[in-house]
Amino acid sequence: MAAGTREERIASRERNPKWKLVPVRIEMSECINCDACVRHCPPQFGAIFNHGIDVIIVPELCSGCGKCLPVCPVDCIYDDPEWSPPPEDWWEEPNSPLDPYIGGAALREN
C-alpha cells in the first residue's frame, strides 16, 4: 500500500510515490529561523520542523507543494532533486509532543 496519509508516511518512512514534485530543503547557512515555513507547511504534509537550532524538512513528508517558498523572507528553501533519507534522529520530530502539525504548536510558542 502506498504511503498516502501523513501517518502512513511517518510509519513507513516512505514518500508517496504519486507525488511528481521533488521535496524541498532548507539551506541552514542562509536560514534566519523565523518559522514562516513551518507555519505555512500544510498539515497533511507536516514536513518542516525545528530540530535543535536547525529547521529541517523531512523529505518523505514533503510533497514539494511549494507553500513554504513565497513566505521565506531570505529565500533559503530549494528544490532537492537528489534527496536522500534523513538522519534517523529527524524521525523523532513527527508525532512528538512538539509536532506543530498535531497540536504541539501551542507548546512550541510557550
Q: Are 98 and 105 in contact (CB under 8 A)?
A: no
Question: CA 35, 92, 4, 8 torsion: positive or negative?
Answer: negative
CATH of the domain at 41: 3.30.70.20
Q: What is the pTM of this model?
A: 0.89
Q: Are 96 and 56 in contact (CB under 8 A)?
A: no
Range of the domain at 95: 1-110
* Domains in the chain, number: 1
pLDDT tens-digit map of 9-64: 999 999 999 999 999 999 999 999 999 999 999 999 999 999 999 999 999 999 99
**Which band of pLDDT confidence, cut at 50, 70 and 90, is reported for residue 82?**
very high
